[in-house]
Structure 1
Amino acid sequence: MGKNMGTLQQITLYIALCGFISPSSAFSWNNCTIRTPLKDIQPKVLCYKMGFFKIPLIPRNTRILDVSFNAFAQIQIGDFNQLSNLQELNISSNKISQIQEGALDNLSNLSHLNLASNRLQGISRGMLHGLTNLLVLRLDYNYIQDIEESAFSTLQNLKVLNLTKNHLYYIEKIKPVLASLFLEELYIGSNHFDAFYSYEMSTKPLALKRLDFSNNPLATFQLTDNVFPTLSHLDLSYCGQNGTMTWNITDKTFFTSVKTLYFMDVHMSGQNAANVIQSFKNFLNKIRLNANVQLNKTNLLLNACSSVLQVVRLSANKIKHLTDHMFDPCSNLTELDLGDNEISQLSPSMFRGFTQLKRLRLQINKLTRITNSFQMLFTLEFIDLSRNCINMLTCDDFANLTQVKTLYLYSNKISIINSCLFKDLKSLEVLNLGTNNLLRIGDAFSNGPHSLLDLQLHFNKLSKIEKYTFRNVSQLNILSLQDNQISIIEDHAFEGLNNLTSLLLSSNKISAKTLTKHYNVFSGMPNLKNLDLYVNGISFTDDQLKYPPFKDLKQLRVLALHSQRRGIGKIPSNLLQGLSSLEMFYAGNTNLAHLSPDTFQSSPQLWFLDLSKNALSEDHSIPTELFHPISKLTTLILSRTQLRSLNFLLNANLSRLSTLKARGNEIDSINKTLIQSLPRLEVLDLEKNTFTCDCTNAFFIDWAKNSNSTQVVYLNKYMCSYPSSLRGMSLSSFNTESCTLNIDFICFLCSTIVVIFTLLSSFIWHFLRFQVVYAYYLFLAFLYDSKKKQNGSTFQYDAFISYNNKDEPWVMEELIPKLEGEQGWRLCLHHRDFEPGRPIIDNIIDGIYSSRKTICLITRNYLKSNWCSSEVQVASFRLFDEQKDVLILVFLEDIPTHQLSLYHRMRKLVKKRTYLRWPKPGEDTKVFWQKLKMALETKEGHKSDHMMKL
């Protein structure tokens, strides 16, 4: 039943999604999410890494679908029904071994299809049928051995096909793909081709522009027809077999269009390699000769270089020495890559032949000095000397390099920079000195370079930034000082950086004292927009600061203070004073326990706030007033903050909030009022909270499933924590129908109950009213009796006299004088002993239970009195409850037994109890008074059944 209900819910949601999607819609269903601007009516749906065994239900207007890294074994007809708008489909990294013919027929608008990393063994005739607009098809990393002849006949617009890493052995197996007449890029590397004969592929010119043969054991390459007239990129890397390869090109003009050749780590002899390269000489613009360790580099260059060759890459060749004339054939190069070799020395003569060289890469070598090796490279614009062992730079190392714009010196052992180093670097814009041994900057930039825009000094050993250190590099846009040991920043340290937009000071030893000791720590940067201060030692104890550190940063947009090592403690109420343009504030992972309501008074433009990984568990840790100055907030991150509730958002007036992330907290319920207080919410992430699976969350569950304006991220991963019987169950599986109240049914039920109650009450009152009244008084007597037993009260009177007011003359003239006057009994009389103002029934009960006996003087008037009836009922209950002789019936008139039936069970009492009768006129009364005295003297524990009628 539960499974069927889940299926029904999926179908219902699918219908809702497919019916209509407004321009501002986002959704959550199954475990998929939608990542697309909400104004886009064709969403991007992400369902990767969800453990699906079949394609889930997808909105019909989806434009991009990613279902990679799941467990699909096959694609069946109907899996993509009604997805005619789909343009990109990623089904890679599954277990697909079969695609039914016609399963993709509905995807007529699909332009990109990724089937990589599956288990396909072949491409059948109808597998790809219907993909008339497909442009890119990835089939790499499968087990494809065969491709049927007409498999690609409908793919007339295909431009890119990747068949890398399959089980193709013969080049003729590739021929069917050429039915796609406009195919431009073909990747068939890492297969098992040991021979290439062009006639087996085609005898007609192909439209291919890029062809990848890499990682094939080619022993023969024969080109007899000009089938590649437009080919511009050819990859023959890692080809060859056992050091031999026959290269037969019947006409050298066949490769005139090839401009780029990848020829890395080929497995062939030097002569065969030379033959290959000769086929492209005078046409190539770019060649990659990386990792050809076994081949002679000079010979390779002699065969490759020409007047048109511009780029040569020789990285990872274990080159140790560069000869003076090694590059003479390549004098027209514009880029030379010698990275990842073993070069330890340079000399100016090595590069003297270059007249147009613009980019020189020497990274990952063993250089310790530069020794003015580049003085003849007047056209140089880019130098990469990173990841060497350079420990010293001299004033002439970059002499004459007036055109250099980018200089990489990171990951060396440089400890000192002299200002003369940059004297000729007039055009330098990017300087990376990160990961060195710099202890101080000093006057290194006192002479410029004046054109510098980006300065990277991260991962050094700087401890202090001195006054006016950077004022002569006033054009800087980015200054990176992170991962140093900076603890002191002098006043006006950044003065003159009028164009600086990003200052990175994270992972240092900056403290609150560093920022607040001086009044002008961050002065001189009027256009700063991004300031990173995370992972430092900033901690505050004061509620307000004397010198707010950011007061001069009027244009700052982003401030990062998260992850302080000892925790920030608190955020002073005026810490952000002056940041009138602040838009993004990061304060996560700072051990923050409370926020002042005035924190953001100076930052009305804030739209992004991250408070994640803090200890905000107290009820008033986040006051509602905190959000009143920042009504433009659109993104709020509260993940892992120990929150128990989000109720502080109820009156926060966050009418523009679109993204709320509060995962990993202790939130147990979300109510309707909270959701309604966030009218523009588009993304809600509450994963890993302690939800209660009961009716308090019924609204949230239904809303999360069916909302067409808010996407509840990974709803199916929300688990129940309470009650214990449901712990571990998915929150979305909780049946909310049991919480739904049907108003019509309730009205019907209520009216039915009222009618039945009215009829029943009338029946009872008409036929059983005496029994009801009797039961009522019995109940009152029971309560009083229980109370008396608990209190252990003693008797105040010997007898309670129950009589009708019309019989009062007999009581006053006969009973009282005899019992009180002559016999000395203490009697309780209602006209004398009842407490004025107290309810009569309370007086009756109190009088009866305060007396050892109750004497009922029965006459016809007595039987007609309601109060007398009450007294008899209470006395009879005491009789039944205590099982003692506490009731004495005295008949002052002769009353037939049948006339007692209507009077409160009097007949039953007379039948079960002995009673006394007042003598008729003229009869002696002495016996009566003697019997009454005996009845009063009888112990309560004795039965009175021995008494005789008189």
Structure 2
Amino acid sequence: MPAMGGLSLYLIQRLIVLLLCLVQRLNPSLAYSLKNCSISYSNDTLADVVLHCSERKLVTVPDDIPRDASVVYLWYNQLEQINRDDFRDLSKLRILWLDTNQIAHVDNGSFIHLVALTRLHMAFNKLTDLTGNLFQGLSNLTMLDLSSNNIQSIHTSAFQSLSRLETVILDSNNLQQVVAIQPILQLPLIQKLSIRDNQFPSFQTKDLLLNAPSSLKVLDVSDNDKFDKFSITTEIFPHLEMIDLSRCGHVAGWKWDIPDKTLLRNITQLYFSYPLIAFEEIRKVLQSLDSLMHLRLNYMEKWINKGLLATVCKIPTLKKLDLHWSKVPNISVKLVTCSQLSELDLSSTSMTELSKGSIRLMKQLRFLTLETNLLTKVPDDIRTLSSLEILNIGDNIISELSCEDFTNTTRLRELDLHTNHIAKLDRCVFQSLNDLKVLDMSNNLLWTLGGVFKIGLKKLEFLDLSNNILLILEKGDFQSLGSLKHLDVVWKHKAFDGSSNLGNLTVPFPFEFENKFTYLQQLENLTIYFISDSFKGHQPNYYKDFFHLKSMKVLTVICEGYHTCFPFDIPSEMLQAMKHLEDFTAENFYISAPDVDTFQYNRQLKSLTIRQTDLSDLDPGLFQPMPHLQVLDFSESKIKSLDFLFQADLSALRCLKLSDNEITVINEMVFQFLPALTYLDLKNNPFTCDCSNAGFIQWVKNNNQTQVVNAYEYTCSFPRAEQGHKLLDFDIQFCWMDVSFFCFISSTCLVVLTLLASFIYHFLRWQLAYAYHLFRAFLYDSRRRKAGAQHRYDAFISYNVHDEAWVYQEMLPALEGEQGWRLCLHHRDFQPASVCSTNRRMCWSCCFWRRSRPTSCLLTTA
């Protein structure tokens, strides 16, 4: 434990740091433990510094935000105001999230130093007014979100400095008049404005006095339930392309006032939902738009039943029609004349069938969504759509597929059949889909593939067969999938013959390994989900099939269940061929620490994760073959000490995660063996708050390289008196004093004092007594002098009894008779029970002197 020298060194170090801080504020990206935030770890040293300060119950902006932070999350806190200096040094900040706080006031110029900021999010706060200089300095801001505040007024110069602003979101505020948005429309690069759910009684361009036409392209005025009119009578929106009028108006509806169709000549997208506009008015709207390409009609059953789609289908420019959540019986019948469509969305319309012939004439249809309906089979009309490229029939109740379902959809690139009741597949189902790249058949009831992937599908890259109950697979079941890059499937046997380009594979159940990976030599990412206690009969050489995985870079093994997957194991031979392995993860897999030779062939390993395992008997030799290891995650692994790091060569390690372990005491010297460490996670460990952790506490607070994540939230578990207290609040100052040295000094001083007192008492006690009384006499005489008192005697005569005759016969006549002095004599002036007049203390001193010295003494006073 450090002695007094250590304390001096500590004080010197603190002084140096303080002096450096006075010259330049030290604030590197991963340089210290932040009190209220944490920095996301990234393997890329050049990546943006992302700071997480969310959900910390903060009432002020933290003062230790790194100066080079690029993204800061401060949402879900209790900030009430933003002060002018809160973001003073964050000149590199690009994205700032302040959502969901209590911010009611922002000092003018609070963002003036955020010269690089491009996105500012302040939704769900309590702002009421946007003042003139509120956004001063944000010259590079492109996106501003102020939704869900209580904004009632906007100063005319509030957005004046935001010359690059493109998107403004003011949803769910309390704006009363449309003139309030005039400063936004004057921005030179404004593209999108969302003002839904405000208190506008109408939207009329005659109320807007702009110096020049606006560059606005997207206008969202939805959810304004007080709307009675939407009017564009002046040419201020020459570039407007999209208007969202969903849920606008009231029971009586609202009026569309666009007298000149050329004012909306560029409108390509229009959104409506709920019939809050009169039927005739909406027809008027649709007939006035000559360039409309995308129309959304959600929850519009009332007007669709009245024949609205007849008008819709007459729009010659219309290419995309979105009718989801419009639950109209036989809705497809009403689309017969919409032959010009290229995209059609009929999801969530509760259809039980797509009426035959209803979309047959849509020869240009490329995208069709029938998701979340009650279809029991693939609609017949799909067979006629030779132009179809993307088809989504997921989340229905289709039980089987026939060979005719996709006969003519030869251009199909994406097919989604997830969450149906498909139990089996015929060999010919997909044989015509030569351009298919994505196929999702997850969450079905498949128990066999029927050889469907033995032919065709030469270009398939993504296949998801997860959450099925595949029981029967044959050799070469995937042999035709030569372009496959990602596969999520339950499998066994020689199913992957021919899938040589597969790059990502997920296997979510126990299987036999023999000859599984023979044809997967390009596989780079393998995830295996095991079920515990299911390998009792596995073959001794099960791992030999892994010899073919020579391109493997990421291997993940996860055991699902309450116990580890013992007796299954990963010997070094299993990983022998994986010379390029960079990332290995094992969760709830091992019953104890892996063998020391497990990774002896994997010298390129950069990330090692072993979680939910008992690593208390870990051999440091495990790390010997890993010179490039950068990330080590041993969370939830019953580790009690970091001593294993003393013997491990981990000079390249940058990230160490040891959360949820049993670490109580940490020797800070261990971090000298981790020179590259920049990220350390030790949360949820039972720390001891006493001097045994003093060095670690000091290191956490003062090191200038490693970020100890959430260190200021670490709590004490021992001793009992400190339970619940914060680890870094523990006072370590007294720990730097050496108790033994203190005891030595104290006992030495006591011994020396005792010897000195004994010597003085034996040899000098009378001298000290005399000096004491003499000193008292001096003080008394001094006080008398200051008071102006007169002396009764001029001198005191101290003499031996043998000199008494001479004093009386010779000395007294000469001094009192001839000189006129008044002498104080012991035998004459000291009477029994008397005092020595006004100079009593001096007389006592002299009398004491007389008894102690057998010589005469003459004392005179002034």
Scaled to the shorter chain, the TM-score interval is 0.7 to 0.9
Please tell me the residue identity of whatever aligns with 1:686: L
Residue 610 of structure 1 aligns to a residue in which SS? strand
In the alignment, which of 706, 717, 722 is matched to residue 713 of structure 2? 717
The Cα shift of 1:85 comes to 3.7
Question: Residue 767 of structure 2 aligns with which residue?
Answer: none
Please tell me the residue identity of whatever aligns with 2:281: N
1:584 aligns with 2:579: no
Question: Residue 318 of structure 1 aligns with which residue?
Answer: 327
1:702 aligns with 2:698: yes
Question: Residue 783 of structure 2 aligns with which residue?
Answer: none
1:67 aligns with 2:74: yes
In the alignment, which of 503, 507, 516 is matched to residue 501 of structure 1? 503
Contact 2:30 2:679 in 1 (8 A): no
Question: Residue 908 of structure 1 aligns with which residue?
Answer: none
The Cα shift of 1:312 comes to 1.2
Residue 276 of structure 1 aligns to a residue in which SS? helix
Please tell me the residue identity of whatever aligns with 1:684: L
Contact 1:446 1:470 in 2 (8 A): yes
Please tell me the residue identity of whatever aligns with 2:625: P
- Name the CA shift for 1:122/1:440 in 2 (closer, same or farther; >3 Å): same
The Cα shift of 1:536 comes to 2.4
Partner Cα separation in structure 2 for residue 543 and residue 456 of structure 1: 27
1:251 aligns with 2:260: yes
Unaligned runs of 5+ in 2: 1-10, 763-862
| Partner deviation per Cα, 1:530-566 (whole Å, 9 max, x = no partner) | 2221242466689994342412211122222122434
In the alignment, which of 627, 638, 641 is matched to residue 637 of structure 2? 641
Question: Residue 86 of structure 1 aligns with which residue?
Answer: 93
- Name the CA shift for 1:445/1:543 in 2 (closer, same or farther; >3 Å): closer
Question: Residue 823 of structure 2 aligns with which residue?
Answer: none
Question: Residue 529 of structure 1 aligns with which residue?
Answer: 524
1:264 aligns with 2:273: yes
Q: Which structure 2 residues correspond to residues 341-380 of structure 1 after superposition, within 5 A?
A: 341-347=349-355, 349-370=357-378, 372-380=380-388
Question: Residue 221 of structure 1 aligns with which residue?
Answer: 230
- Name the CA shift for 1:630/1:122 in 2 (closer, same or farther; >3 Å): same
- Name the CA shift for 1:730/1:752 in 2 (closer, same or farther; >3 Å): closer
- Name the CA shift for 1:536/1:17 in 2 (closer, same or farther; >3 Å): farther
The Cα shift of 1:436 comes to 1.6
The Cα shift of 1:758 comes to 8.8
The Cα shift of 1:431 comes to 1.7
Partner Cα separation in structure 2 for residue 236 and residue 348 of structure 1: 33
The Cα shift of 1:15 comes to 4.0
Partner Cα separation in structure 1 for residue 363 and residue 245 of structure 2: 30
Q: Which structure 2 residues correspond to residues 851-866 of structure 1 after superposition, within 5 A?
A: none
Partner Cα separation in structure 1 for residue 89 and residue 717 of structure 2: 38
1:443 aligns with 2:438: no
Partner Cα separation in structure 2 for residue 274 and residue 673 of structure 1: 78
- Name the CA shift for 1:142/1:238 in 2 (closer, same or farther; >3 Å): same
Question: Residue 246 of structure 2 aligns with which residue?
Answer: 237
The Cα shift of 1:179 comes to 4.5
Q: Which structure 2 residues correspond to residues 182-201 of structure 1 after superposition, within 5 A?
A: 182-201=189-208
Rg larger in structure: 1
Residue 257 of structure 2 aligns to a residue in which SS? strand
Question: Residue 661 of structure 1 aligns with which residue?
Answer: 657
Unaligned runs of 5+ in 1: 769-950
Contact 1:348 1:375 in 2 (8 A): no
Contact 2:101 2:124 in 1 (8 A): yes
- Name the CA shift for 1:12/1:230 in 2 (closer, same or farther; >3 Å): farther
- Name the CA shift for 1:451/1:309 in 2 (closer, same or farther; >3 Å): same
1:54 aligns with 2:56: no
Please tell me the residue identity of whatever aligns with 2:422: I
In the alignment, which of 565, 570, 574 is matched to residue 568 of structure 1? 565
Question: Residue 765 of structure 2 aligns with which residue?
Answer: none
The Cα shift of 1:762 comes to 11
Partner Cα separation in structure 2 for residue 87 and residue 432 of structure 1: 37
The Cα shift of 1:751 comes to 9.7
In the alignment, which of 130, 151, 176 is matched to residue 123 of structure 1? 130
Partner Cα separation in structure 2 for residue 677 and residue 462 of structure 1: 50
The Cα shift of 1:366 comes to 1.6
Partner Cα separation in structure 2 for residue 363 and residue 180 of structure 1: 41
The Cα shift of 1:633 comes to 1.6
Question: Residue 685 of structure 2 aligns with which residue?
Answer: 689
Residue 428 of structure 2 aligns to a residue in which SS? helix
Residue 45 of structure 1 aligns to a residue in which SS? strand
Question: Residue 611 of structure 1 aligns with which residue?
Answer: 610
Name which of structure 1's ranges 97-106 and 431-440 shifts more when overlaid on structure 2: 97-106
In the alignment, which of 383, 404, 414 is matched to residue 406 of structure 1? 414
The Cα shift of 1:279 comes to 2.5
The Cα shift of 1:94 comes to 0.5
The Cα shift of 1:469 comes to 1.4
The Cα shift of 1:301 comes to 5.3
Please tell me the residue identity of whatever aligns with 2:502: L
Contact 1:542 1:572 in 2 (8 A): no
1:736 aligns with 2:742: no
User: What's the TM-score, normalizing by structure 1?
Assistant: 0.73
Question: Residue 36 of structure 2 aligns with which residue?
Answer: 31
- Name the CA shift for 1:215/1:18 in 2 (closer, same or farther; >3 Å): farther
The Cα shift of 1:17 comes to 12
Percent of residue pairs identical: 32
Contact 1:474 1:499 in 2 (8 A): yes
Contact 1:683 1:712 in 2 (8 A): yes
In the alignment, which of 723, 727, 750 is matched to residue 727 of structure 1? 723
Please tell me the residue identity of whatever aligns with 1:603: N
The Cα shift of 1:467 comes to 1.7
The Cα shift of 1:625 comes to 0.9
- Name the CA shift for 1:139/1:762 in 2 (closer, same or farther; >3 Å): closer
- Name the CA shift for 1:374/1:645 in 2 (closer, same or farther; >3 Å): same
Partner Cα separation in structure 2 for residue 544 and residue 629 of structure 1: 28
- Name the CA shift for 1:345/1:756 in 2 (closer, same or farther; >3 Å): closer
Question: Residue 872 of structure 1 aligns with which residue?
Answer: none
Name which of structure 1's ranges 494-503 and 535-544 shifts more when overlaid on structure 2: 535-544
- Name the CA shift for 1:216/1:664 in 2 (closer, same or farther; >3 Å): same
Q: Which structure 2 residues correspond to residues 101-140 of structure 1 after superposition, within 5 A?
A: 101-140=108-147
The Cα shift of 1:109 comes to 3.8
Q: Which structure 2 residues correspond to residues 754-773 of structure 1 after superposition, within 5 A?
A: none
Partner Cα separation in structure 2 for residue 16 and residue 415 of structure 1: 72
Contact 2:366 2:388 in 1 (8 A): yes
Partner Cα separation in structure 1 for residue 576 and residue 534 of structure 2: 17
- Name the CA shift for 1:18/1:263 in 2 (closer, same or farther; >3 Å): farther
The Cα shift of 1:259 comes to 1.7
Question: Residue 822 of structure 1 aligns with which residue?
Answer: none
Please tell me the residue identity of whatever aligns with 1:34: I
The Cα shift of 1:18 comes to 5.8
Please tell me the residue identity of whatever aligns with 1:56: P
Question: Residue 593 of structure 1 aligns with which residue?
Answer: 592
- Name the CA shift for 1:698/1:266 in 2 (closer, same or farther; >3 Å): farther
Please tell me the residue identity of whatever aligns with 1:573: P
- Name the CA shift for 1:498/1:543 in 2 (closer, same or farther; >3 Å): closer
